[in-house]
Amino acid sequence: MTETSKNNELGEAITCKPVEVQVGDRGLERAVKHLKRKMASEGILRELKRRRHYMKPSVRKRKKEAEAARRRRKRVRMER
């Protein structure tokens, strides 16, 4: 497959590789689990949820700041 490009919020082009999983001897269920893990690690599911509804820029900024604060608190908690 070829890589596709799209524009991000700033208008810059982003190249995206398709998410692929090989179905081998271990079966389809295992491949589905692997695909879900891969999608979660790449943030695809979070991006889908984010794009479901329009969010005003001010609300998006507040959410982004709250998420950063949550990550900071988590990092401090992990350091102890």
DSSP E strands in 1-80: the ranges are 4-7, 13-16
Instruction: Kindly list the domain boundaries of the chain, sorted by start residue.
Output: 1-42, 54-80
Q: Rounded CA gap, 15 and 5, in Å?
A: 4
Under 8 Å CB-to-CB from 17, ≥6 apart: which residues?
3
* pLDDT per position as a tens digit, 1-15: 444 555 555 656 667
The pTM of the full predicted model, rounded to 2 decimals, is 0.48
* pLDDT per position as a tens digit, 29-77: 999 999 999 989 888 888 888 889 998 999 999 999 999 999 999 999 9
- The reported pLDDT for the residue numbered 67 is 94
Of 38, 42, 40, residue with least CA distance to 16: 42
Give how far Cα 63 sits from Cα of 2, 9, 34, Å: 34, 16, 30
